[in-house]
Structure 1
Amino acid sequence: MTPETGCGGCPSACSDCSRCMRQGTWGIPERSTRSCPPTLRRCGRSPMPEPGNRQPHGTSSAWPSRAPGLPDLPGTVAEAMDLHTQHPHTPLLTNDDATTARVAAALPAATWAHFACHATVDQATPSNTGLRLHDGTLTIADINRLRPTNAELAYLSACSTANHDIKHAEESIHLATAFHLAGYRHVVASLWPLADEFAATAAHRFYQRLPDAPDADAAAVTLHRVTKELRARFPDRPDLWASMIHSGP
């Protein structure tokens, strides 16, 4: 395996994922590109769907910088404008427009989806875990009901979207898994809470370096490169640069 083309996998339920990413110069970031399938079945008997006729601008983006009862996220505004500048045909659902109904209606036709918002984890009922939008929560149960036709990439720029509580350590029940199993071939998500401004920086670098192609098959390698760049800039802050992981082929 090479740092640019190798692919090291482990189930996203694995408790060692974050430890692997925090290792030093000899760790997994140096040896391979890491991609975490949501379940072992995804690795073996249940193959990933093949990329079809996918249009890179068929994107739905939700950016509720304000959610009821939660702190504002000013970094999501810059994140939204940055992505819209790079992809001007991308429809934006911001603030009041980023309702659960509108987002759920837009996702089935979206090839790529990007969320920059709060997320919550329900330890008692994991299916109620979800993305906090303007008027409520888009839950794992809601996402499981989606039937996207040509889903390619879901980027979840929100806290702990690839994590679950300790009660369900042996299960892979989280938002990244929900989008993955709903049909999105590639999912980028976080293992723990994100710093608002830093999350926007990571997203900017990711889309800036992702090749302009209908598919997102370079997502894992692109995220790997961004992680290494941010690690070089903040070597003593793995809490900032080690949180984002890729799931997919």
Structure 2
Amino acid sequence: NRQKQSIRKTEESLMAVRIAGREKEAKKLAEDLVKARNQYQDLLISAKEQSPEISSFVTVEAISLETLQSLLADSVALVEYLVTENELVVWVVTKTKIDVARVPLEEKQLNGLIADYRERIQKLAPIEEQAQLLYSLLIKPVESFIAGKRFLGIVPHGRLHYISFSSLRDEQSYLIEKHPLFYSPSASVMQYTFKEKAKRSREIKVLALGNPDLGDFNYDLPLAEMEANALKWDFPKVDVFTRKDATESWLKEHISEYQIIHIASHGEFDPVNPLFSSLKLTRSETEDGNFEMNEVFGLEINADIVTLSACQTGLGDIVGGDELVGLNRAFIYAGTKSILSSLWRVSDISTAVLIKHFYRNYGHANKAESLRKAQLLVKRLYPHPSYWAGFNLTGDYR
């Protein structure tokens, strides 16, 4: 905790000297901050090595094929990718068998395609050609293995974490028009997210935080506030906190009491120290308002779903293997069954429409179907994938 407080002080000093325009001082403080955060990360890693309980939060034991298949319904195909230097390997696991496809493809070429795709998505540029090319590489080789399955689970690898598979298409239609989709950071994580199916009832307790007061009107999200308040129409037991009441301290204290947690705020990804990626909430006397990934790991969360309706909340650092270190993973290890989060900056209006219809569908359909229906509705209003394909469901699709 002492180390954490020292990091906080350095962050505040850095902000102050930057505002004052003292560049030389700011450079030195920025270097100190990276050093302090690295030391804190090392501390967490050594704690993880000494404690099996903490270790299970941060890494997952590999899952056996038999256990994995026992978690899958007959209607599900799990598609897992491995990007290597000169080829792409794709496994398709169903309840009764496992198939593999190998695609000759240089990692460098794939990364270039993904970078082009991301840039076009952000700029609302034409993307049909890129979506078809990625489909031909990622989905076409396994079409015969997924035929007849309703739900597709995607386990991405490397830069594939940065694309939305729902926006990939063949000549006729988008993948989301054929299948409801869900994602998993790794196949092993499914032993936690699929352990038991959450019970649904009208008595669900819902927490909604929206448009926290970040002390700068440039960061205000008025539609996020409306988004949070709109949940009252679909669920009778909703606690809504906005502006000065949307504090980090209140959330941390009460997060375990809710089955649905909706946070509509800004997110910030830290590529240097992923454990310091955060959601921005209102600060209080006890908390600085940065709800960081390293803090999420230690909480007890009993939610069926956590929705992170903010800027780029789903992005994590690509750290190799099958590990995506992002806010999604932190929430899963704290006990969340599933997370709905965005892969890129999504328009406020289309987000509000999508979220409203997702929750409306949630009352009577599974989560993957609920998201698919909401996405297709937004697609009719705003056809470019940037508006409707940015939200991904990670974890339990049921």
TM (norm. structure 1) is: 0.86
Partner of 2:165: 20
Q: Paired residues, what number?
A: 241
Paired residue for 2:155?
11
Residue 189 of structure 2 aligns to a residue in which SS? helix
Q: 1:146 to 1:12 in 2, by over 3 A?
A: farther
**Which amino acid in the other structure matches residue 194 of structure 2?**
M
Equivalent residue runs for 1:1-249 within 5 Å: 6-11=150-155, 13=157, 15-16=159-160, 18-24=163-169, 25-43=172-190, 48-51=194-197, 56-69=203-216, 71-135=219-283, 136-148=289-301, 150-165=302-317, 168=319, 171-211=323-363, 218-235=366-383, 237-249=384-396
Contact 1:12 1:172 in 2 (8 A): no
Structure 1 residues without counterparts, runs of 5 or longer: none
Tell me how far 1:52 sits from its aligned partner: 5.3
**Cα distance in 2, alignment partners of residues 53 and 88 from structure 1:** 16
Q: Could you say if the C-alpha distance between residues 175 and 196 of structure 1 is closer, same or farther in structure 2, counting changes exceeding 3 Å? A: same
Superposed CA RMSD in Å reads: 2.6
- SS state at 2:155 partner: coil
Query: Which structure shows the bigger proportion of residues in helix conformation?
Result: 2
Summarize deviations over 1:186-210 as a string: whole Å, max 9, x none.
2111111122222211111111222
Contact 1:64 1:96 in 2 (8 A): no
Deviation at 1:27, TM superposition (A): 3.5
Q: Distance in 2 between matches of 1:52 and 1:176?
A: 18
Q: Secondary structure at the match of 2:215?
A: coil
Gaps of 5+ in 2: 1-74, 77-146, 284-288
Q: Aligned AA for 1:20?
A: F
1:157 maps to amino acid: S
Distance in 2 (CA, whole Å) between partners of 1:176 and 1:168 is 15
Does the residue aligned with 2:159 lie in a helix, a strand or coil? coil
Larger RCO, structure (CA 8 Å, separation 6 or more): 1
CA contact (8 A) 1:140 1:175 kept: yes
- Aligned equivalents of 1:81, 1:61: Cα separation in 2: 8
Aligned CA distance change for structure 1 residues 95 and 169 (closer, same or farther; 3 Å): farther
Whether the 8 Å contact between 1:66 and 1:72 is mirrored in structure 2 is: yes
**Does the 8 Å contact 1:8/1:35 carry over to 2?**
yes
Find the aligned partners of 2:238 and 2:382 in 1 and give their Cα distance: 31
In structure 2, C-alpha distance between the alignment counterparts of 1:42 and 1:199, rounded to whole Å: 28
Q: Quick one: percent identity of the two aligned structures?
A: 22
SS at match of 1:92: strand
Q: Indicate how the Cα distance of structure 1 residues 19 and 157 shifts in structure 2: closer, same or farther if over 3 A, else same.
A: closer
2:187 & 2:350 partners in 1: Cα distance?
A: 31
